[in-house]
A and B are shown apart, each in its own frame.
Chain A
Amino acid sequence: MSSKPQIKLDKVKKTYRIGKIDLEVLKGIDLEVEAGEFIVLLGPSGSGKSTLLNVMSCLDVPTEGHVYLDGQDVSLLNEDQLAGVRGRKIGFVFQQFNLLHHLSALENVTLPAVFQGRSESQRKKRAADLLESVGLGERMDHTPPELSGGEKQRVAIARSLINDPEIIVADEPTGEVDTDTGKKIMGILTDLHEEGRTIIIVTHDLELVDYAQRVIRIRDGVLSEK
C-alpha cells in the first residue's frame, strides 16, 4: 500500500437542517481508502451510507471535518471546482441508472467527456470502445427506453469510465436489476477493479459483500469495520 491514502476522511460530520431540527447524519467519521481497494459500504436505509458516499465522491462537502482526495483538501473547494474533480477523477454508477432518455446510449456515454472539453471524435471513439467492452456494441444508437435494466446499467458503467477515472462509486448498482444481471454487473465492476481502479459500492445487499476486499458498515452515522 502507498504511503498516502487516495481518499482520507478526517472527523467528517454532516448535519442537515430540517425545519428547526438539526439532523446529524455523519457523526465524525475517520476513514482512509487506498488506491485500488474494492470497498463495500454496508448499512440499512437512513444509516448515512449515501451521504458518506456523496462526501467521499465530492458530490457534497462535510459540515465539519476534512476530506482529502489524493492529498488535496476537497472540503475547501467551491461547487465548480468540485464538479471539475468529479469529472476528472470519479465515475458514478447510480441505482436508477440516471441516463438521459432522449440521448442515445453512445451520446449518454460521451456526455461526461463534453464537460472535460474532449473533441467529438475522441469522445465517440472511446465511448464506442467502452460500449463494446460492456457487450453493447450493437445497441449504441438505442435510447434508454429501448434498453433493458441490465443494458441501461451497463451503459451507465460505460459512462462512468469515459474520462478514465481512478475511482468508481456505485450506489446500489444492482438494486434495479434481477439477480443474474446483478451478477454480470458485479463482474464488470470486478474487472474494473482488476484494472487497478478503486471501487466503492454502497448497498444494503449482503450478497455484494462477497466481491469486496474490505467491508465497512455504517449505522446511525458511525462506522464499524470488519
Chain B
Amino acid sequence: MIDDYFKIALKNLKNRALRSWLTVLGVVLGVFLITSLLTFSEAIPRAVQEMLRQIGGDVIMVMPGEGIDISTYIGFASGLELGNEELEAVKRARGVDIVLEMPFQAENVRWRDQVETVLVWGLDFESGLEMIRDDMGWRISEGRYPRPGRREVILGQLIPRNFFPGIQPGDEITVSGRKFTVSGIMQSLGHRENDSTILFDIDDYRSVTGTREGTPVIMARVEQGHDLNVVISNIERSLEDTIARRRGEDSPSFTVLSSDAMLELVDTVLGAIQSVIIALSLVSVLVGSIGIMNTTFTSVNQRVKEIGVLKAVGAKKRDILAMFLIESGIIGLVGGLIGIASGISFAYFMAYLVNQNPEMIVEVQVQASPYLAIFAVLGSLFLGVVSGYLPAKKAADLNPVDALMYE
C-alpha cells in the first residue's frame, strides 16, 4: 500500500515538475549551507590542532597582543612582534629551560642560477635544535642536523621538490649575498607551508633579513621538576616587570599560554564561530521548510476535487495524509541528498582555495563527516514530513461532498 502511495506521490511531483524542483532547491540551499560551512569550519580547528599537537605539552608560547585575537591563532598573522627585551624577560623567568624565538620572513634565495622567494625561519641552533627534535618531533630525512655558527641551513621537505629540483645536502645557496651550506633536508612536518621553508641559525637569519629583533612567537620549555602553571605566571610576571620598567606603565601586551591552553582557546573561538554558522544555516533551513509548506498547501488547494474523488472511492484520512506526507518527504529527502553532495563538494573546493593562499601557515584538510551526512539526510526527510503535515492534515480533513463540489 505504501509503495502505491509512493508511486502516486512521485507521479504528482512529476506532474508539477518545475514547482517540485523549485521547492527542492529551497531545501538544497539550506542543507548546502549547513554541510559546507560545518564541514569547512570543522577543518580549521583540526588544522590548528594538528599544528599545536606537534608542540609538546610542556612548551609555553608567548605571543604579542592581549586577549583572544583569532588571527593570532590561525597562522600567527597578527603582524605584532615581540622584541629582544621580551625574549630576555622570558629567559629570566624561573623554571624556564630553553627559550626560542621563531621569526620568519620571505627572502629571495639563489641556488645555482635559480632565484626563488622562500619563507625563511630563524632558530637558535645552539639551544633550539634539541627542542625541535625532542619536543616538536622534527626529523632529518637526508644529510644531518646543522652545526651552529657554521653557516649551515636545513631545507623543508618540499624545497627540493617545488623550488630547487635537484638540490641536495652539501650544495650552497645564496641569500642577501651570503653563502650557506645545506646540511640536510627535513622530513615532512605535515603542512605544505612548513615544508616549504628554509631554517637558518638565528644570527644568520638576523643578518640576511637585516632585522635586529622581533618574533611573532617565543617558545619556552619548562625545566624538569617545575609546574607548568607556575612557570607561566613566572613568565608573565617577568614580562610585566620589563614592560613596566620600560614604559613606566603596567599594561601587558602579550599572551602566555601552554600549547594545551591554546588548543582550548582555539576550540572556544572556533566553537563560537560554528554556533553562529549553525544559527544562520538554521534560518535557511527554516526558509526551505516554509517553501515545502507553501508548495504542499498550494498542491492541496489545487487538488481539492481530486482529494474529494479519492475520498469518495474509499480513501481514508490516513491514506490522504500519507500521500501528501510522502510527497513532502520526497521533496525534503531529495533536497537533502543534493544539498549534502553539493555542500561537501563545496567545502573541499573552499579548502582547496584556502590552501592555495601562500600566507596560510596551516593546511586545511576537509573531512566529510558521515554523521553530519546521515543527520542532514534524516533531518531533511523529517523537515519535509513536518512541513507537509499541516497542509496534508488540511487535505485529509476535507469533507468529501464539499471537495467534490469544489471548482
Contact = CB atoms under 8 A, between A and B. Distances in A.
Interface of A: 54, 59-60, 79-80, 83-84, 86-88, 92, 94, 98-103, 111-112, 114-117, 120, 159, 163
Contacts of B14: 102
Across the A-B interface, the 3 shortest Cβ-Cβ residue pairs: A87-B314, A112-B313, A102-B15
Nearest to A54: B401
Interface in B305-337: 305-306, 308-319
Given A59-B401, A117-B1, A83 B15 contact: no
B400 interface: yes
Given A98-B305, A114-B4, A120-B4, A83 B11 contact: no
B404 interface: yes
Contacts of B1: 114, 117
Contacts of A159: 313
B316 A100 contact: no
B314 A88 contact: yes
A175 B44 CA distance: 72
Given A84-B316, A159-B313, 17 more contacts: A54-B401, A59-B312, A59-B400, A59-B401, A59-B404, A79-B316, A83-B317, A86-B314, A87-B313, A92-B313, A98-B312, A102-B12, A103-B11, A111-B310, A114-B5, A115-B316, A115-B319
A60 B401 contact: yes
Contacts of B315: 83, 87, 115
Question: Which of B5, B14, B308, B310 counts the most chain A CB atoms within 10 A?
Answer: B310
Nearest to B318: A80
Interface of B: 1, 4-5, 8, 11-12, 14-15, 305-306, 308-319, 400-401, 404
B372 to A, nearest CB: 37
Given A59-B400, A60-B401, A100-B306, A92 B12 contact: no
A116 B314 contact: yes
B404 A98 contact: yes
A134 to B, nearest CB: 17
16 contacts: A79-B317, A80-B316, A83-B317, A84-B316, A86-B314, A87-B313, A87-B315, A88-B314, A98-B312, A103-B8, A112-B314, A115-B313, A115-B316, A116-B314, A159-B313, A163-B314
Contact of B314 (A83, A94, A101): A83
A83 B308 CA distance: 11
Contact of A94 (B8, B311, B404): B404
Nearest to B306: A100
Nearest to B12: A102
A80 B401 contact: no
B309 A83 contact: no
Contacts of A114: 1, 4-5, 8
A162 B197 CA distance: 81
Contacts of B401: 54, 59-60
B253 to A, nearest CB: 72
A112 B14 CA distance: 22
Contacts of B309: 94, 98-100
A146 to B, nearest CB: 15
A111 B314 CA distance: 9
Question: Which of A60, A114, A120 counts the most chain B CB atoms within 10 A?
Answer: A114
B9 to A, nearest CB: 12
Contacts of A54: 401
B4 A86 contact: no
Contacts of B318: 80
A16 to B, nearest CB: 10
Question: Which of B1, B309, B316, B404 counts the most chain A CB atoms within 10 A?
Answer: B309
Nearest to B319: A115
Question: Which of B8, B312, B404 counts the most chain A CB atoms within 10 A?
Answer: B312
Question: Which of A101, A112, A116 counts the most chain B CB atoms within 10 A?
Answer: A112
B311 A83 contact: yes
A79 B15 CA distance: 29
Contacts of A83: 311, 314-317, 400
B317 A115 contact: no
Contact of B312 (A79, A86, A100, A102): A86
Contacts of B305: 98
A17 to B, nearest CB: 13
Contacts of B15: 101-102
Contacts of B312: 59, 86, 92, 98
B317 to A, nearest CB: 6
A117 B2 CA distance: 10
Contacts of B11: 102-103
A56 B8 CA distance: 30
B8 to A, nearest CB: 8
A86 B317 CA distance: 14
Contacts of A163: 314
A100 B306 CA distance: 7
Contacts of B306: 100
A192 B315 CA distance: 24
Nearest to A99: B309
A84 B15 CA distance: 28
